[in-house]
Chains A and B, each alone.
Chain A
Amino acid sequence: IIFYIFSTLYFQLSFSPLVPQENAGQFFSSGHTNNWAVLVCTSRFWFNYRHVANTLSVYRSVKRLGIPDSHIVLMLADDMACNHRNPKPATVFSHKNMELNVYGDDVEVDYRGYEVTVENFLRVLTGRLPPSTPRSKRLLSDDRSNILIYLTGHGGNGFLKFQDSEEISNVELADAFEQMWQKRRYNELLFIIDTCQGASMYERFYSPNLMALASSQVGEDSLSHQPDLAIGVHLMDRYTFYLLEFLEDIHPSSKANMNDLFKVCPKSQCVSTPGHRTDLFLRDPGSALITDFFGSVRKVEITMETINLTEPIQQRQKETYSYVDQLPVSEIIHQKPKQKDWHPPDGFILGLWTLILLVFFKTYGMKHLKHIF
């Protein structure tokens, strides 16, 4: 808040602002210090190639605008690039005639295949992961992070299908965002969804500082863009295709704001009507830059402190080592098997039964013995 007041005062005082100072003012006006992105593709099988291409094109734009791999959680439910049906392995194309390979040579997928489940997605968002989860699979955001969440797949009125076997509902998603708000896990959150009837997924949001975009309204289907005859499937969905074209024009110091993003893919190009929701967003969408969510803010601190490196202690062993025999046949044959379970020695059970019978007959008399034998 102090920075915001400072920058507005500064603007009012100076009539011809110097460019670096103006940029510095805008640098602090949005209130966030780091950027994260969670990009999810929820569909399995080769004919859903376009959903993977959608997610990878957003990944590509986000990386190009500065967010590093360590701040991106990428979840792809199936492997299209190295799928045996792909005529060009290790590639995922977004434009027909194979113009743009969105998979590239430098890609890190954090959750893949069967790991993309509703449970893992909600755990990533809320931060409730098992302690042994590696850092690259965690969303380590704080209260000054701007997060971009992109979902794509098959959906319906109020739900999104994960891997053809389970769904996430809009109520669950809204509650997850509320948990994130209560745990102070985001400063501002931009939610983009490209599925059929996508607007139903943001209807139930109730946490502050959320902005949402969807590719189609309730009752409408999102359509795919164009098939490629060599690959044999549709390559991209229309909304994300035009979103990618829009983002290709954005560079890290661009001043385009959210109102331009709302105009992406009008009904003439998309056939469905994209929708957006800004009532929960506290700032004016016109003042929120595209790079606030798609780009990356990185703070560098320069310090002149010195640090002493400790010297490692060299210990010299005096024993001689040797390599182990790889297939010691005689040793293996004479290896004693390990007794894991203790069984009573043979004969013990027989002796025990004899004892029981003897005691029985001693107590009740010998006349019963002839009935047994």
Chain B
Amino acid sequence: MMPVPSSVPQPKDDFQEELVIRPLHSGDIYASFQFRTLWETDFMRGNKVSHYRLFPKSLGQVISKFSVRELHISFTQGYWRTMQWGQPFLPSPPGAELWVWFQDSVTDVDGTWKELTNVLSGIFCASLNFIDSTNTVQPSASFKPLGIGNVTDHRFLRYATLPREIVCTENLTPWKKLLPCGSKAGLAVLLKSEKLFHSSFHSQAVHIRPVCQDWQCKTTSWELRQTLNVVFDLHTPGQGKLEWSLFKMFSRTLTEACPLASSSKIYIDITDDPQGEQFEVSPATHLLSQAMVLGDRRTFSVYDLTQQITFGTVRSLNLLIRWKSRDMLRPLLHAERYVAGYGLQTGEIHTLMYNNHPYRSFPVLLLDSVPWYLRLYIHTLTVTSKGKDNKPSYIHYQPSKDRVRPHLLEMLVQLPPNSVTEVTVQFERALLKWTEYTPDPNHGFYVGSSVISSLVPSIVAMDTNSTREQPLFSSFFPCKEESSYFMRVYTEPLLVNLPTPDFSMPYNVICLTCTVVAVGYGSLYNLLTRSFQIEEPSPGLAKRIANIIRKMRGVPPL
């Protein structure tokens, strides 16, 4: 088909890719890929959008069909160890997490949510169709929209997690196919599944939201960010030295930038040693950049892949990073969660939140979503800091309904400086119907991670000018004030055992009962109804012939 060229210019779209490599003090290395597509179009009004260039068509159709305002979905394998690795650029809980803000024109949010999860399960090859009303919650204060907008009616927000969801190559394949260059050119050639999944932490996410186009913010454009965070373990490749290269991490080197990208950069975090004494990066570069990220001013070496000289004479870029072990800044906010108690009847959930700032206290919003089969006793809820009771300034609790919805607990707690705050609540385990058990019930049942959102005071003044040219990793969370930055921390998911019946019991019972009935009733029946008769044994052949002759003679037989 030959299209007629149109005279009106198509809406502008722009694609940027970047990779940030940060060596961690424990010897592991953290690599964060971000691919951002900006598109000045309007999915909601006007004609249906039919010409897609850089923005993937499958996601564009999802946005317009389900009137989505914001969509955040992440698939994670592993748990982020904050105390060893610091804070991630983009946090995510283990398993799958999906939270969506719908437009205020949607009338039936729950129905649209159900259809959206089914469509996304087809796009990402994940079992997101297991998201239903029993694991969806509507937070009342957490998860404010990350994009622009005025209306924040929480009726249009839905949040769900699937802690059991496995992430593997089948989720990475459709994710890579959403990129404009696919996995053929640019930074995406490094995404080989055999290396990515042989790591301590792997998380891939898709974030869609409307953003300001320029500093005046009179027009909006749609932003699609695809992020992939991976932490490679020091001991996996066998070598114990603190030496990493692109080839060692990804088994590939870079040969070119994505031709469709307007910017393609690699940032290496050299903050802890800008002089190059303890830290060595080769090939060396003179491009340096400073960015305010996670409350800290950090220095990065920049490699621009759109410049041909980056690749040198060999036409391939293999960065080599060598460093000596050094201390790490203690993260200001950190959380843990565990189940206490014994037996299969009751238990207690403990959530611990650590505030490591020496003199400042800050508020945190704790969101807990517990499935209905763990019956929480909210009257046993206690929040203590430094031994004393700490009353939350806001509590929102929605009780569960069996097989309909889970518990939702949201609390705004002020964490005193340099302290541990402990939140405990007791629960009782319910007995499920025998068809509701999974095929492997003795594995246990998962409880999703708690989400702790907070405004953490920052060491340096944060940059509130959101439209200056900033690297992608520092411009994800919008920054409104200079003295603090927004952060989200996820706790571990819990694995609890529910009382499990013995599924072979029906078969055993049938066999036993039938045997007992057969033996018992059968014997009784025989005793009652059997009667005995005397019977002559049959005579031998000679006697029988003699009897026949006697009968013929008319004489009585023998």
Our verdict on whether A and B bind, yes or no, reads yes
Cα of A104 to Cα of B170 in the assembled complex, Å: 10
User: How distant is the Cα of A337 from the Cα of B408 in the complex, in angstroms?
Assistant: 14
Q: Which of A90, A115, A307 contacts B168 (CB 8 A)?
A: A90
What number of residue pairs across chains A and B have CB atoms under 8 A from each other?
189
The answer to whether residues A323 and B148 also contact, given A308-B4, A312-B47 and a CB cut-off of 8 A, is yes
Contact check: which of B141, B168, B212, B486 meets A82 at CB < 8 Å?
Answer: B168
Q: CB-defined interface of B140-154 with A at 8 Å, one 1/0 digit per residue?
A: 110011111110100
A317 close to B (CB within 8 Å): yes
B365 at interface by CB-CB < 8 Å: yes
B439 touches A114 (CB 8 A): yes
Residue of B nearest to A313 (CB): B46
With both chains docked as a complex, state the minimum distance between the C-beta of B351 and any C-beta of chain A, in angstroms: 18
Q: Which of B41, B140, B168 counts the most A-chain CB atoms under 10 A from its CB?
A: B168
Residues in A with CB closer than 8 Å to B173 are: 105-108
Q: Which of the candidate stretches A176-184, A284-292, A328-336, A352-360 sits at the interface with the other chain?
A: A328-336
Partner of B174, one of A88, A108, A165, A333: A108
Using Cβ atoms and an 8 Å threshold, which residues of chain B touch A305?
Answer: 1
Residues of chain A within 8 A (CB-CB) of B198 are 88-90
A311 interfacial contact with B, CB 8 Å: yes
Set of chain B residues within 8 Å of A165, measured between Cβ atoms: 439, 503
Q: Which of A114, A134, A304 has the most CB of B within 10 A?
A: A134
Alpha-carbon separation in the docked complex, A309 to B144 (Å): 38
Contact with B along A69-109 (1 / 0, CB 8 A): 00000000001011000001111000000000001111111
Tell me whether A307 and B1 are in contact (CB under 8 A): yes
Inter-chain contact B216/A324, CB cutoff 8 Å: no
CB neighbours (8 Å) of A109 from chain B are: 125, 170
CA distance A91 to B396 in the complex (A): 46
Nearest neighbor of A106 in chain B, beta-carbon distance: B173
In the bound complex, how far is the Cα of B192 from the Cα of A319, in angstroms? 45
Q: CA A325 – CA B219 in complex, angstroms? A: 19
Q: Are B144 and A325 in contact (CB under 8 A)?
A: yes
Contacting residue for A105 out of B129, B169, B212, B455, CB 8 A:
B169
Query: Is the CB–CB distance between A307 and B393 below 8 Å?
Result: no
For residue B496, CB closer than 8 A to chain A, the reply is no
Q: Which of A163, A306, A315, A323 contacts B42 (CB 8 A)?
A: A315
Residues of the A chain whose Cβ atoms lie less than 8 Å from the Cβ of B194: 88-91, 105
Q: A163-B439, A306-B2 are in contact. Are A82 and B42 (CB under 8 A)?
A: no
CB-based contact A329/B363 at 8 Å: yes
Do most interface residues of chain A lie in helix, strand or loop, or is the interface mixed?
A: loop
Q: Which residues of B contact A318 (CB under 8 A)?
A: 218
Q: List the B side residues contacting A307 at CB < 8 Å.
A: 1, 3-4
Q: Is the interface of B mostly helix, strand, loop or mixed?
A: loop
* Chain A residue at smallest Cβ distance from B396: A337
Partner of B394, one of A133, A314, A335: A335
Contacting residue for B453 out of A107, A108, A308, A327, CB 8 A? A327
Residue pair B167, A324 in contact (C-beta under 8 Å): no
Mask for A109-142, Cβ within 8 A of B = 1, else 0?
A: 1111111000000000000001011111100000
Given A90-B198, A308-B4, A321-B220; A105-B170 close (CB under 8 Å): no
Closest-by-CB residue of B relative to A338 is B140
A309 with B453, Cβ < 8 A, contacts A82-B77, A315-B45 known: no
Residues of B within 8 A of A (CB): 1-4, 6-8, 11, 41-42, 45-47, 49-51, 77, 114-115, 118-119, 121-123, 125-127, 129-130, 140-141, 144-150, 152, 164, 166-170, 173-174, 192-194, 196-198, 212, 216-220, 363, 365, 393-394, 396, 412, 438-440, 453-455, 466, 477-478, 480, 486, 503
